[in-house]
Each structure stands twice: as C-alpha cells, then as structure tokens.
Structure 1
Amino acid sequence: MSSGVRYEREGAVGVVTLDNAARLNPLTEVMQQALLEILDQAGRDPQVRALLIIGEGRGFCVGADLGSMVPQPGDTRSLGTRTADAMAVLSNKLVVALREAPFPVVSALNGAVAGAGVGLALAADLVVAARSSYFYFPFMPKLGIVPDLGSTWFLVNLLGRSRALGLTLLGDKLSSAQALEWGLVWSVVDDEALPEEGRKLAQRLAELPAHGALEMRRAFEAARCNDLATQLAYEAERQRELIDHPDFAEGVAAFMGRRSPSFGNRSG
C-alpha cells in the first residue's frame, strides 16, 4: 500500500511531498505514520537544516480520510472512540513532532487546504500559499465536530477569537489573499512559482544557526504566557547561554569581516 508521501533531501533541505493527488492528499492513517517516520529520519540526519512540506496535484490536503471512517470488523469501539484513539497515537503526535522539529519547517500550500489539513499546514514555522489556494473549515457546519490537529489553537492565537469563531462556525472559504491580510500565512505567490518559492524560503532558513527554530519557537511560546518582566528575564537567561555558543562567535566574526556567517550542522 502506498503511503501517499514522498521524501527526498535536496542539499540541506528535506522535501516532503504529499503524493495522493487523485484524492487531494487526504490524511490517511498510513500517510500520518509515514510522516512521523520521515520526521524522525530527518531529525536524525544532521545534514537536514530545514524541511519543506508541499502537496502534489490540485490541493495541499483535504483533511481526514472520511471514507475510511467506518466500523471495522472485530473492533468493538465506537467510531468516535476509535478516532480519538488514532488521534492520540498518530495525529496529535504528528503536530507535536512538527512543532518540536530541530529545524525550521515550511509548508507550501496549493489549492484546497481543508479540515485537518489546516492543522498540518499551520504547524509549520512559515507558510507560503499559492494565489489560488484557500482554507476551508467544514468541521462544524458540515459534520458537527470541532476542528482538530491543533487548528483551534492555531486559529485563535493567529487570528483572535472573533475571526476564529467566524471561520469555523460559518464554514466560508478563506482565500490566500485574505489569509495574508489576516496574518495566517507569510506570503502569497503565483501558482506556478509556489514550488520554487517554497524551496527558496526553506533554503534561506537552512542557513540559520542549527538551534534557531527551537529557540525562536520557545521564546515566542514563553511570551504568550509571561508578563513583560518575566519575558525580559527569560531573554537574558537565553542570551547567557547563546552568547557563549560557537554560532555567536561565528556571527560576530562574519559581521566584522563583512561576510555571510557559516553556521555548523546539527549534531543529529
């Protein structure tokens, strides 16, 4: 059985391609397991300094594989219980693995980004969208369920309560242009330019210090909870350690020498 995912390393960038184009790349359990294995593989490869996730065909990801959500012979659990159990061991772990990846992650969005595919897309550090792409939230208006794969967390933190509720209660499509205006994506590019722009962005991120993504994620996550005084103390403590890191010395030397810094690979 095909996993519906391809992975290859292009220099310092790992490229993950969702590859079930005929079905607009639904998040099957097999695909989710493959993605977890790819993230583990890339995390152990010190040559990988950034990751790009892109969808093959006319859409990035349409979310859950609803066709597979049927009773299974010999499984006495209800469909809801079976789904929640699968989320605990696959879906939720996938989002956490993306947010804890030891390298920056870019998602490049083409066509439909729907349902659970929204959570997969927004788990990346930077999101670039094709001009014709759009977000769609059918959970409550079409299915009577809440958004998942972290979508509720991402939406309320990125957009605020009013817009998060409006999108998920009404189920209107959100265009890439509106998503850019609202701050849900980093940039919007012409459709034909998306693969190359995604790679360029990932390559730029690959040139960062190896600890860059983790440090910045943790700093901004701390800022969500801290008051100003606590966050100032947090920043000072991180500088205490990071200024003694070899990458800071390289950065200073590059600045003084009027050249671009060359930071080392991850340890793997």
Structure 2
Amino acid sequence: MGDVVKREINKDGVLTVTLNRPESLNSLNYELVMGVISAFDEASSNDDIRSVILTGEGRGFCSGADLTGGGWPNEPEWSAGESAANSMIIGMNPMIKKIVNCPKPVVNAINGVAAGGGAGLALSGDIIIASKSAKFKLVFGNQLGIISDVGASWFVPNLLSRARANGLAMLGEDLSAEKAEEWGLLWKTFSDEDLMEEAMKIASQMADGAIEGLKAIVHSHDNALRSSLEDQLEYETKTQRVLCDAPPFKEGIMAFLEKRKPNFRNLK
C-alpha cells in the first residue's frame, strides 16, 4: 500500500497523503482505497499529526473508480451491481467516512482532474483548494447511466444547489477550478506551481491552531445543513459549553490578556 499511497509527516505535524497511481490518474483500486483508509487511521490515532493534506501525484487528482477491475475481493459469480456495491461497502464509503470524521483538519489540494468518484473524494476535505488547471467532472449519468457516488451525491448539492448538482451530474460538463471557486464549491484556486506551497501554509496554520475547535467548526456547519435555526442555536450552546471548558480556550484567553500568540500545542 505504501507504493500507491505516499505519506510524509513534517516537523510541524502536517501529514501529506499523496495518491500515487499517476499512470491511471490515481484511479481508485482496492489497494489505493485501503491505503487512504490506513493513512487516515494513522492521522486519527497519532498525536504528533495535527493536520492533513490530501493530494494526487502527477497531472491528475483522481479519475474515479478503476474500471479495469481494481483488484477488489469480489466473487466471480457476482453481477456488476453486486461487485460495485461490495467495493462501496468495504472500501469507498469507509474511505470517505474516515476523511470526513478525521479529528484533525484536512486540506484537499486538487492538482488536476477530479472525475467521477474522484470528484467525491476531492470534496471530502474540510478546506478544498485547487490548481488553476484542475477541473471537476461528474461522469456518472451521461456516460455510465448511474448516480454520483463516493460522496459526490451528498457533497455537490450541499455545497452548491440541487439545480447545479443535477446539471453537472446529468450533463457531465467539465467544471473548471476557477468556476468551482466562483460557485463556492471550493475555498481558493492557485497557480499549478504554488498549489502545494499554499496547501502547506494552510495546513501548517491549522496545525498551530486549536484543532479540536477547528473541527468543531466544521461539524457545526455540517449540522446546520439539517437543522432549524432553533436547533442550531441549541447545538451552539451545547458545543460552546464543552469548548469553553477546554484547555485551548483557556490558553487563548491568557494569550489575549498577555498580548502574545497562543500556543495550542501540548496542552493538558
């Protein structure tokens, strides 16, 4: 798995996870998906890791499922539908859940095409940035006659709208990174040359931050998507009650009073 998913932890506690099947535009086979799951298991359990960057090797981020078979442990007598469902149950869905539920902030740096399930994977991070040459393509409906998956059917309508999600998925048009930024699908775009440097700046800033609070921000916004204002105000109250009793808040207050930058690392 180390060959198809590269991991590197720097001195600031930033883990860079790189999809490494550039010859297939980092298509999702069994080995790669399990490698991503393993990398995010490490991110969740290793206290030295404080933030994560997910990106792709080569000229593409991820072209979606490996349609040549992908090495999934399927039974020979299974239909195409049964095999697809199995890959989702044992691999694709757990992978997305691992990323979304990672207790460390996740920056997805989209370095090229993100197509099909690769678009879903691209949108799984807490902060999404992209190179100017990147593009998103939902090929499910117009080319394959299936629905969006790997989380894309949830991310796209929630981040954009039902109308734009339908148009992208049913017509399969390319969505450029700059248009995706304009529409609000991602945070910012950068030149191809600057993408990883900018990703590292963002991830390092979050690694220096109060990571529990940063992830709580993400969860609060996700909760708001399915809540009334009244329910969300109650959610805010419950969450602030916990966070305001936690060490990072106390450190932040002390730093403000002492006119210094807060140090959120190694707090007890």
Q: Into which bin does the TM-score normalised by the smaller protein fall?
A: over 0.9
The AA in structure 1 aligned to 2:186 is V
Q: How many residues align?
A: 267
CA distance, structure 2, for counterparts of residue 249 and residue 219 of structure 1: 21
Q: What does residue 8 of structure 1 align with?
A: 8
CA distance in 1 between counterparts of 2:8 and 2:237 reads 39
Query: Does 1:134 find its partner at 2:127?
Result: no
CA distance in 2, matches of 1:147, 1:242: 36
Q: In 1, are the aligned partners of 2:5 and 2:35 still within 8 Å (CA)?
A: yes
Q: Which residue does 1:232 correspond to in 2?
A: 233
Distance (whole Å) between structure 1 residues aligned to residue 71 and residue 105 of structure 2 = 36
Instruction: For 2:74 and 2:189, locate their aligned partners in 1 and report how far apart those are by CA, in whole Å.
Output: 46
Within 5 Å, give how 1:98-247 maps onto structure 2: 98-247=99-248
- Measure how far apart 1:214 and its partner are: 3.1
Q: Is the 8 A contact 2:2 2:35 kept in 1?
A: no
Structure 2 Cα separation of the partners of residues 97 and 2 of structure 1? 18
Could you tell me which residue of structure 2 aligns to residue 43 of structure 1? 44
Q: CA separation in 2, counterparts of 1:46 and 1:94?
A: 20
* Contact persistence 1:49–1:266 (CA under 8 A): no
Q: Report the 3-state secondary structure (helix = DSSP H, G, I; strand = E; otherwise coil) of the residue aligned with 1:67.
A: coil
**Cα offsets for 1:24-81 (capped at 9, x unmatched):** 1111111000111111112111011100011111111101001116999962111210
* Contact residue 43 and residue 102 of structure 2 kept, 8 A: no
The 10-residue stretch of structure 1 (36-45 or 257-266) with the greater mean CA deviation from structure 2: 257-266
Residue number in structure 1 paired with 2:249: 248
User: Given the alignment of the two structures, is residue 75 of structure 1 paired with residue 106 of structure 2, yes or no?
Assistant: no
**TM-score normalised over the length of structure 2:** 0.94
| 8 Å contact from structure 1 (residues 46, 266) kept in 2 | no
Question: SS at 2:154's partner residue?
Answer: helix
1:62 corresponds to which letter in structure 2? S
Note if contact 1:47-1:265 (Cα within 8 Å) is conserved in structure 2. Answer: no
| Structure 1 position 266, deviation (Å) | 8.4
| Residues 229 and 8 of structure 1, relative CA distance in 2, 3 Å threshold | same
1:252 partner SS: helix
Return 5+ residue gaps in structure 1 as ranges. none
Give every structure 1 segment of 4 or more consecutive aligned residues whose post-TM-superposition deviation is greater than 6 Å.
Answer: 69-73
- CA distance in 2 between counterparts of 1:142 and 1:124 reads 26
After the TM superposition, which of the residue ranges 83-92 and 71-80 deviates more from structure 2?
Answer: 71-80
After superposition, the C-alpha distances for 1:208-243 in whole angstroms (9 at most, x for unaligned) are 213124312221122122221221122112121211
What's the CA shift string for 1:66-115, capped at 9, x where partnerless?
Answer: 11169999621112101101211110001011110010101111121111
SS, match of residue 191 in structure 1: coil
Is the 1:13–1:48 contact (alpha carbons within 8 Å) kept by the matching residues of 2? yes
Determine which structure has greater relative contact order: mean sequence separation of CA pairs < 8 Å that are 6+ residues apart, divided by chain length: 1
Question: Structure 1: which amino acid aligns with 2:52?
Answer: L
Query: Are the aligned partners of 1:70 and 1:79 in contact in 2 as well (CA < 8 Å)?
Result: no
Per the normalisation by structure 1, the TM-score is: 0.94
* Separation (CA, whole Å) in 2 of partners of 1:98 and 1:80: 25
Name the SS for the 2:225 alignment partner.
helix
Does the residue aligned with 2:194 lie in a helix, a strand or coil? helix
Cα 1:74–1:172 shift into 2, 3 Å:
closer
Corresponding residue SS for 1:148: coil
Percent sequence identity over matched residues?
38
> Which deviations, in whole Å up to 9, do the C-alpha atoms of 1:97-139 show, x marking residues without a partner?
1110010101111121111111111010011100011001111
> Which amino acid in the other structure matches residue 115 of structure 1?
G
Q: Relative to structure 2, which stretch is displaced further, 164-173 or 233-242? A: 233-242
Matched residue SS, 1:157: helix
